[in-house]
Amino acid sequence: MSDPGLSHHTPGHHTLGHPGLAAAPVDVDALTLMLGDHVLLDRATLRLERGEVLAITGGAGSGKTALLGALAGQPVPGVDVAGTAGVDGRRLLIAQGGRLAPRRPLALQVAEVVGHHLGVDLRAALRRVADGLDRMGVPPAARRFDLPPEQLPDSLRWACLFAMAIAIGPALLLADAPCAGLDPTVRLRLLHRLADWARAEGTALILAGRPEDGLAGPADRALSLRRGRLVPSGPDGEPQRDAEPAPPGHPLEVPGTVRLRAHGVGVSYPLAPAPNGERRQLTVLHAVDLDLRNGETLALLGETGSAKATLVRALLCLPPPTTGLVAWMGRDLTAAATTTSGSDDPDPAGLRRARRDLQPLFPDPAASLDPAMTVGAQFAIVLESLRPDIAADRRAHRIAEALEEAGLRAETAARWPTALTAAEAAHVGLARALLSEPRVLIGDEPAATLSADERAGFLDTLLAARDRRHLSLILATERMEEGLRDAHRGLVLLMGRVVESADAATLRTAPLHPYSRAMLAAARGDRPDLAGDAPSALNQPAGCPLRRRCPKARPFCAQAMPPLEEVAPGHRVACHYWDMPDNGDA
DSSP 102: T
For residue 24, name the pLDDT band (cuts at 50, 70, 90).
confident
Q: Are residues 292 and 377 in the same domain?
A: yes
Given a contact cutoff of 8 angstroms between Cβ atoms, the answer to whether 351 and 336 are in contact is yes
Q: Which domain covers residue 435, as residue numbers?
A: 258-338+346-445
399-417 pLDDT per residue, tens: 999 999 999 999 999 999 9
Chain mean position to CA 179: 11
Is 326 among the domain residues? Answer: yes
Domain count, the chain: 2
Task: Examine the pLDDT at 537 and tell me if it is beyond 60.
Answer: yes
Q: What is the rounded average pLDDT of the residues 561-573?
A: 96
For residue 502, count other CB atoms closer than 10 A to its CB: 25
| Res. 2: pLDDT tops 50 | no
Domain final position from 428, 445, 462: 445
Q: Can you tell me the mean pLDDT for 144-155? A: 89
Listed residues 445, 478, 509: the one ending a domain = 445
The verdict on 199 and 267 lying in the same domain is no
Same domain, 129 and 272: no
Are 223 and 282 found together in one domain? no
Closest CA to 226 of 66, 71, 40: 40
Q: Are strands 79-88 and 53-57 parallel, antiparallel or unpaired?
A: unpaired
Q: Is the peptide bond before 178 cis (omega within 30 degrees of 0)?
A: no
Residue 469: inside a domain, yes or no? no
Residue 194 lies in a domain: yes
Q: Is residue 457 part of a domain?
A: no
H/E stretch holding 522 reads: helix 514-523
Q: Do 223 and 367 lie in a common domain?
A: no
User: pTM of this prediction?
Assistant: 0.89
Q: Is residue 546 part of a domain?
A: no
Task: Answer yes or no: do 166 and 25 share one domain.
Answer: yes
219 and 265 both lie in a single domain? no
132, pLDDT greater than 90: yes
What is the DSSP code (8-state) at residue 215? T
pLDDT given for residue 14 in this prediction:
43
CATH number of domain containing 92: 3.40.50.300
Do both 314 and 227 map to the same domain?
no
User: By the 8 A CB rule, do 405 and 469 touch?
Assistant: no
Q: Do 178 and 52 share a structural domain?
A: yes
Asked if 172 and 298 sit in the same domain, the reply is no
Range with the poorest average pLDDT among 23-32, 53-62, 295-304: 23-32
Residue 566 lies in a domain: no
| Same domain membership, residue 60 and residue 197 | yes
Whether 251 has a pLDDT exceeding 50, the answer reads yes
Is 14 a domain residue?
Answer: yes
Question: Same domain, yes or no, for 192 and 286?
Answer: no
pLDDT band, residue 7 (cuts 50/70/90): low
Q: What residues contact residue 268 under an 8 Å CB cut-off, 6+ apart?
A: 281, 282, 283, 284, 322, 323
| Phi (first) and psi of residue 435, to 5 degrees | -55, -45
- Residue 509, domain member (yes or no): no
Q: What CA–CA distance (Å, rounded) separates 138 from 330?
A: 51
Last residue of a domain, one of 232, 250, 282: 232
